[in-house]
Amino acid sequence: AQSVTQLDSQVPVFEEAPVELRCNYSSSVSVYLFWYVQYPNQGLQLLLKYLSGSTLVESINGFEAEFNKSQTSFHLRKPSVHISDTAEYFCAVISDTGRRALTFGSGTRLQVQP
Amino acid sequence: DVKVTQSSRYLVKRTGEKVFLECVQDMDHENMFWYRQDPGLGLRLIYFSYDVKMKEKGDIPEGYSVSREKKERFSLILESASTNQTSMYLCASRVRRGLVSNQPQHFGDGTRLSIL
């Protein structure tokens, strides 16, 4: 069975500061990893994904995440956040065996303050 | 862009009612999903469907059923609504690429359901 742990339920940060949102997963097989973002009153949007190859993946709006197999982590980072990054962020995992639906973490609410 | 449309953004129903939540996708995706979102719990899978008339239980199927008669439409049914089913419900779809599961799921905007 696969599971995802997001260690921080809320992360307050000042504008233009760096941020890291932590995600650890548990699975006995090879996995694919995703980060989704949810803005207020909206559904989830894909932010970035790790499928294979380079362990560092980037999104178009400056976020990046690094797949670390030895630490079973997929932390999300941004070197300088904006007010508009305020949202809830979900880490998710899936594998080619077992259940074919994403398993989500409990989410991290990023609050960017001026 | 993929469009996943949920028929209602907000819905208020009474205890004991039979409730239908509808979801339609416009990209001919084989896979469709229903999740429930609650604060502090993230998204939990209720049911998913591999293809028309095919379904599989997720983590919390009790009190729910689903229907997939056409490829584009996936309905979630609360057989007899209860107050503990008050929640945000999210539908998603995904293209199927053989046995590989790495295609992203595309989500609708959600239905906020209140059971009184």
Query: Alpha-carbon distance A64 to A48, whole Å?
Result: 8
Partners of A51 on chain B (C-beta within 8 Å) are: 102
Amino acid at B115: I
Q: Judging by DSSP bridges, how do beta strands B10-13 and B111-115 pair with one another?
A: parallel
> Contact B96/B105 with Cβ under 8 angstroms?
no
Q: Closest to A101 (Cβ–Cβ): which among B58, B106, B109?
A: B58
Contact B104 A9 (CB under 8 A): no
pLDDT digit of tens for each residue in chain A (114 aa)? 789 999 999 999 999 999 999 999 987 778 899 999 999 888 999 999 998 888 888 888 899 999 998 999 999 999 999 999 999 999 999 987 777 889 999 999 999 999
Contact B110 A43 (CB under 8 A): yes
**How many CB atoms lie under 10 A from the CB of residue B17?**
13
Nearest chain A residue to B98 by CA: give it.
A96
